[in-house]
Amino acid sequence: MSEKIKWKDFEGTPEDITRFFELSKLDLKQYLPSDKDIKTLNVILIVLGGLILVLFLILQFLSDKAFSVVSLLLFFVLLIELFFIHRRWDSISLTIVAAIIAMIVFIVGVGISSPDSALKMLIDLISKNSK
C-alpha cells in the first residue's frame, strides 16, 4: 500500500490523487510545473544577473545625472530579480536571503558603502540577531 502524501491542497495516496483528477476531469499537468517554465525562469534569472553586473560596472564611470538614472535602473532590476527568484523557488527564506544580498549589492554599487564596511555591517547584523 502506498504511503499518504500531501501536495498543495491534496492529501492521500498517489493513486487517490490521480483518481481524483481523473474523476474531476482536471488535468494534473496544469498543477505541475513544466520543465519549459523552469528553464524559462532560469534563463531570465541568468540574464537579469548579467544585467546587474553590467549596470554595476557602468556605475563606476558615470557623471552624477547618469549615475542617478542607472542607480534607479539597478534598483528596479534587483527587485525584478527578487521577484523571479521567489517565483522560481517559492521560498520566503531564500527570497529574504536574496533580498539582503541585493541590498548589499545596491549599497556597494551606488557607493553608499565600501565592500569592507558593508561586510562588517552584515556581520554585525548577523551577530546581533543570533544572540
> pLDDT tens for residues 2-58?
688 877 777 888 888 888 888 888 877 777 766 777 788 888 999 998 899 888 888
- The pTM assigned to this predicted structure is 0.66
pLDDT reported for residue 24: 84
88 closest CA partner among 23, 43, 21, 28: 43
Domain boundaries, the chain: 1-32, 34-130
